[in-house]
Amino acid sequence: MGVLQTEYEFILPKGYVDDEGNLHKNGKMRLSTAADEILPMKDPRVQSNPAYLTVILLSRVVTGLGNLKMVTPKVIEGLFSGDFSYLQEMYSRVNQNGANSLKAVCPKCEHTFEMEVSSNQGE
């Protein structure tokens, strides 16, 4: 039986531009907990606008982005819409469906990365 992977690396398609103009593309997302999905419901921003739930949720599970010290709701709000959609899709994939990926190593530079693997069995 394998070890459960709880954190996943990603590269944003466009990247987050901080207040100083620095671009941040590489990040990590962890699996969500029940608290990640329940506690934001008490947030007044979510109560007044249910669509804000995704912003709070992503700010809780994205554990790193570039060299930012923290990923806050303000950071998530500042993402380009394509990157926001990318993270929403990734969140769904790793939390509901399980990620179909494997770790790979580049034979030339020895960089470790994850590759998605599609399973077309029975489709």
Alpha-carbon gap, residue 104 to 29, rounded angstroms = 19
In the chain, helix, strand, coil percent, each to 5? 40, 25, 35
- For residues 111-122, one letter each, b for 16 or more C-beta atoms within 10 angstroms of the residue's C-beta and e for the rest, the string is eeeeeeeeeeee
- Tokens 């669509």 sit at which residue? 51
Q: What is the DSSP string of 97-119?
A: I---EEEEE-TTT--EEEEE---
pLDDT 10s digits, 30-87: 999 999 999 999 999 999 999 899 999 999 999 999 999 999 999 999 999 999 999 9
**Rounded mean pLDDT of the chain?**
86
Q: SS3 for 29?
A: strand
Residue 122 — pLDDT band, cuts 50, 70, 90? Answer: very low
